[in-house]
Amino acid sequence: MENVGVIGAGSWGCALALQLLGNSHKVTMWTHRQSQAMSMNDTRRNDKLPEAILPETLEITSDLEVALKNKTMIVLAVPSVATRSTLEKMKPFVSIDQLICCVSKGIEEGTLMGQCDIIADVLGDDQKMGVLSGPSHAEEVVKHLPTVVVAAATEEAWAKQIQNAFMNQYFRVYTSRDVIGTEIGASLKNVIAIAAGISDGLGYGDNSKAALITRGIKEISELAIAMGGQQETLSGLAGTGDLIVTCSSMHSRNRRAGMLIGQGMSMEEAMNQVHMVVEGVYSAKAALALGNKYNVTLPIVEIVNQILFEGLDPRDAVLKLMLRDKKPENGSF
């Protein structure tokens, strides 16, 4: 049995806390807001995941030391923009024998670091760590709908520890050594999902969505491979699988924000309407910068940046994509 601290009480952190609790692990869930901790302890509900009941066996706290002390595994489930600042607060209470399972998805804009790079930067290269990723909306996981994900780590033992902690009859976990490919797939799919949502908001159809998903996975794959990731990862759950669900699901906050932008809202208005962190907005600039760094062309990512930050009209953006120079799909004649 693991003794787990879940750092972050959003919808995904809460769903994973319940998943671990259901697997007979001891779980403490931390929120940075004392008022939220008090409310959840009183009502045994989380307003980010209202359909879920929080059992009395789930310890809820706003005390970071309590959430981390004597834990065998730490699940890092804060928004990616808060990863570094949260890790800095965690540092006095974390030891190298604790495995950190990161479920946050995003690239740090200033440094272009993935989540595991940030963990290593703050806690040290010898920290045990891995990531959990794949097509897995919290709203479906708490209903015990069949879900399949990937646990990636540089050490097999770490990946298997994550696999063993989370896996059961409705939540299947595969292992992988490809942390880079898994993280890039997780981060860039949110940017592509904004584009897919914009397409939906403009009233475009299935043809448009299929094209965005297909060309989107090509962009993600080319960047991940240039950075040292594996094609198999991007063709699997952490790449194509996660992209499909994020581009098409009603639960996807990135798609929802994109739809609102396609319907005429500004980026700020759309984010306020969604009421949750839209990770793709924060990863868009960093993704484009990574493309420039590794000399990988990312047309969809570039267009999303222009819509979000340069005021490009979404309809004009579609024309820019459609009227790019003629070229073969794969290779050349």
Q: How many CA atoms lie within 13 A of 94 on its CB side?
A: 28
DSSP helix/strand/coil, 92 = helix
Question: In this structure, are residues 213 and 196 in contact, taking their beta carbons and an 8 Å threshold?
Answer: yes
**Residue matched to tokens 């420039």:** 292
189 included as an active-site residue: yes
The span from the CA of 182 to the CA of 330, in Å, is: 23
The total of other beta-carbon atoms located within 10 Å of residue 41's CB is 15
Q: Which of 189, 320, 326, 327 is catalytic?
A: 189
User: What's the length of the chain?
Assistant: 333
Rounded Cα distance, 55 and 108, in Å: 35
Q: Is 178 exposed, middle or buried (0-12, 13-18, 19+ CB in 10 A)?
A: buried
What phi, psi does 173 have (nearest 5°)? -125, 120
Antiparallel, parallel or unpaired: β 99-102 and 26-30: unpaired
Contact 103, 9 (CB under 8 A): no
Pair 267, 281: CB distance under 8 Å: yes
Q: Which residue matches tokens 């005390």?
A: 63
Catalytic residues: 189
